C-alpha cells in the first residue's frame, strides 16, 4: 500500500490495494488514516453494488437515504445525471444528511461513469475552519454584512437542519454549531448552507447573517481540496468534519454510487 498526500488541507491518495480482499486489518489501517487525514482517495477500484455494500458494512452500521437507493442493495445510493448540469447556488456545500438525528460519520463515493471534463468534487476541512475562527474574526474581515463571530460567541449555540427537500416525512434535527468529533475529540464547525435553516433561540435576521459569515469562512480556499475524479476512484471522507460540494460544470452523463456509515448524535 502506497500513501501520498493530495493537499495541505486534508487527504491522502492510496494505491496498491484491492478492496475485494479487504479484511479487518486493512479496514483498521484505513480507518486510522481517515482519522489522521479526514479523506482517502483509493484509486482503481472495480466494486459492483453488492461488493460496495459489503465493503461498507466492514466500517459499521449503514444508513439508507430517502432518494435513489438501489432496489437490490438498499444501502447503496445511486447518483446519476444525464447531462446539462450547469451551476448551483452557494447552498451546494453540505455535510451529508445533517438533518438526520444521527448523521453519517463516514461517506463513501465511488466513480462509475464520468464526463470527459468537469464534475469535480470540492471538500472543506471544518476542523481547520474552527481552529482559524478567532484569528479570522480578529482580522475584522467582513464575510457578509455581519462580522465573523468568535469561538466564544458560538458557545452553546444550536442550529436546525432540514431534509424536507427529500420529502415531507424526512425529519428535521437540531445540532450544535460546533461539534466534538466522537473519536479524536477535535472540534469542528457544523452548519451548512444546503440543510441548515436557522440558529435556534436567535432572532432570524441575526442568525442568518451569522450563518452566512460562518459558511463563507468555512470554505476558505486554504481549508479545501478539489478532487478530479478518475473512473474507479473510491473517495472516503469523515462526514463529521468535512463538508463537500458537487461542482456542476459538465454536460455529459456522470454516475456515482454512495454508501454512508451511521454516526452518533452530534455533541
> Taking Cα atoms as reference points, which of 222, 239, 214 lies closest to residue 151?
214
- Residue 174's DSSP bridge partners are 160
Instruction: Answer yes or no: are the C-beta atoms of 189 and 177 closer than 8 Å.
Output: yes
> The cell 478518475 sits on which residue?
230
Q: What is the pLDDT of residue 62?
A: 98
Low-confidence ranges of the chain (pLDDT < 70): 82-91, 140-146
- The whole-number pLDDT of residue 84 equals 58
Any residues with CB less than 8 A from the CB of 62 and at least 6 apart, and which? 53, 56, 75, 259, 260, 261, 262
- The confidence score (pLDDT) of residue 144 equals 46
Q: 197-206 — which CB contacts under 8 Å span 24+ positions?
A: 197/159, 197/160, 197/161, 197/162, 197/172, 198/159, 198/160, 199/157, 199/158, 199/159, 199/160, 200/157, 200/158, 200/159, 200/160, 200/174, 201/158, 202/157, 206/146
The predicted structure's pLDDT at residue 215: 94
pLDDT (0 to 100) of residue 145: 46
How far is residue 219's CA from residue 211's CA, in Å, rounded to a whole number? 13
Domain 1-267 class, CATH top level: alpha beta
Distance in angstroms (rounded) separating the CA atoms of residues 195 and 266: 15
Name 259's bridge partners: 108
Q: Where are the domains of the chain?
A: 1-267
pTM assigned to the model: 0.93
- pLDDT (0 to 100) of residue 83: 60
pLDDT at 68: 85
Amino acid at each position: 500500500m502506497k500513501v501520498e498526500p493530495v493537499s495541505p488541507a486534508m487527504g491522502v491518495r492510496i494505491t496498491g490495494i484491492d478492496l475485494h480482499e479487504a479484511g479487518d486489518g486493512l479496514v483498521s489501517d484505513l480507518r486510522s488514516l481517515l482519522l489522521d487525514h479526514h479523506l482517502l482517495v483509493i484509486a482503481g477500484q472495480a466494486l459492483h453494488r453488492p461488493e460496495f455494500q459489503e465493503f461498507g458494512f466492514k466500517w459499521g452500521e449503514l444508513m439508507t437515504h430517502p432518494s435513489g437507493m438501489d432496489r437490490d442493495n438498499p444501502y447503496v445510493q445511486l447518483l446519476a445525471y444525464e447531462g446539462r448540469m450547469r451551476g448551483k447556488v452557494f447552498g451546494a456545500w453540505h455535510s451529508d444528511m445533517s438533518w438526520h438525528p444521527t448523521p453519517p460519520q463516514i461517506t463513501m463515493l465511488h466513480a462509475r461513469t464520468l464526463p470527459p471534463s468537469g464534475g469535480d468534487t470540492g471538500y472543506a476541512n471544518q476542523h481547520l475552519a474552527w481552529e482559524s475562527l478567532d484569528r479570522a474574526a480578529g482580522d475584522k474581515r467582513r464575510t457578509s454584512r455581519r462580522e465573523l463571530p468568535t469561538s466564544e460567541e458560538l458557545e452553546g449555540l444550536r442550529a436546525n437542519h432540514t431534509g424536507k427537500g427529500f420529502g415531507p416525512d424526512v425529519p428535521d434535527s437540531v445540532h450544535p454549531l460546533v461539534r466534538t468529533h466522537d473519536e479524536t475529540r477535535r472540534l469542528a464547525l457544523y452548519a451548512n448552507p444546503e440543510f441548515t435553516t436557522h440558529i435556534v433561540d436567535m432572532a432570524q435576521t441575526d442568525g442568518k447573517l451569522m450563518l452566512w459569515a460562518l459558511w463563507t469562512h468555512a470554505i476558505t480556499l486554504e481549508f479545501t481540496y478539489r478532487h478530479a475524479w478518475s473512473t474507479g476512484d473510491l473517495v472516503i471522507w469523515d462526514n463529521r468534519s468535512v463538508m463537500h460540494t458537487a461542482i456542476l460544470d459538465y454536460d455529459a452523463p456522470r454516475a456515482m454510487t454512495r454508501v454512508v456509515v451511521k454516526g452518533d448524535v452530534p455533541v
